[in-house]
Every structure is written in C-alpha cells, then in structure tokens.
Structure 1
C-alpha cells in the first residue's frame, strides 16, 4: 500500500481552519465525532468523490479512484475540521511512518491549538 499526502485535502483543511469552521475537541472524542459509514455514503451520493476526497489527508494510490478505500486519514465531519480527527490522524501517520502526512497534520494541529489558545 502506498499512501501519500492529499494536497487538496490539506489545503481544504487549512482554509476551513482559517475560516473558523472547526471543533476544538479532544483526541478521544473522534470515535463519537467521526462520520459513520452511512454519513460517508450520504455525502458521497450528494457530492461525489471529488468533494469526498477533500476530507481525507491521505490517498492510497493502489486503490481505485472511486472507492472509499482509496481515502485515508479523515479529519472532519464534512462540515468542520475536528481537532480530535487531526490528532488521531497525526498519531496514525506517525505509527505508519507516513512522514508527509504526519507533517501536514502536525501543521494543522498547530493551527488548531493556536485557535484554541485564542479562545481561552
């Protein structure tokens, strides 16, 4: 499996964060905040794979372009960036040694923590 950074998703996440479309939650909340398979399917049906791809920081280029399995490292709920999703992606990217994804999510993590500090 070859997973690489999805630049389109990274740029989308950065833009959403700059716009304040974020949830400043904790890492252990991702299991509750992550979109369900039904949510993913509904989003795909309404928006297609191009928009779906914007919500996943990794792409497995060995998987077909129009398959859910191609997209890895989700970070949001199809509306907002979730800090818990970014933190989860950061840990998983480090564990799996995907340095380019790890660096991207570390950047997003820093942006989110900066916003969190502003809100205190």
Structure 2
C-alpha cells in the first residue's frame, strides 16, 4: 500500500516552514495494512474538510509568546508536568469560573 504524506499535517521546523514541501510517497509494510488510520489522521482530515482549526496534534505554524514559554519552563521545573486530573486543576477551575462570571455579568 502506498500512502502519501501531507505537508499540511507535517510538524513545522523551528522557523515555521513545513518539513516536506512536496508530499512524499511512503511504502507501508503489508503486515500493517490491517491497521486503519489513526485518530490523529481522522481529526486532521475532518478539520481540513470543515475548514476548522485542528487543535488535536499541536503543530502551530508560529512560535509561542516568550511569557508562555517561560511559564512552561517554570511549570516543568516546579514538577507540574503531568496531565491534569479528569475534573481539572481546582485553582484553574476557580480562575476560569471567576473570569466567566466577570465577562458575562
């Protein structure tokens, strides 16, 4: 089976350009043909089809603001580097609720 990789879903390089400007065919081993597409491929396809912004994989085409990068570094150093609990982070939940009340008052 031949599969064409897509430059639109390839992660960008550090300067924001796509790694592969031209789609390259990929030869998939026959033993893998029984596996279907991943959820990431399905979500990317749906995002393109509906003109939506795909937030599923995190391939931004721009560098993040310095304050966001610094906050991420601080969080990692402070040990806050795990997925949040299913019910969220209590302090963040409260902050979002307060902001929502303020914005909708």
Q: TM-score, normalised by structure 1?
A: 0.20
Q: TM-score, normalised by structure 2?
A: 0.22
- Structure with the bigger percentage of strand: 1
Relative contact order: is structure 1 or structure 2 higher (C-alpha 8 Å, sep ≥ 6)? 1
The structure having more radius of gyration, on CA atoms, is 2
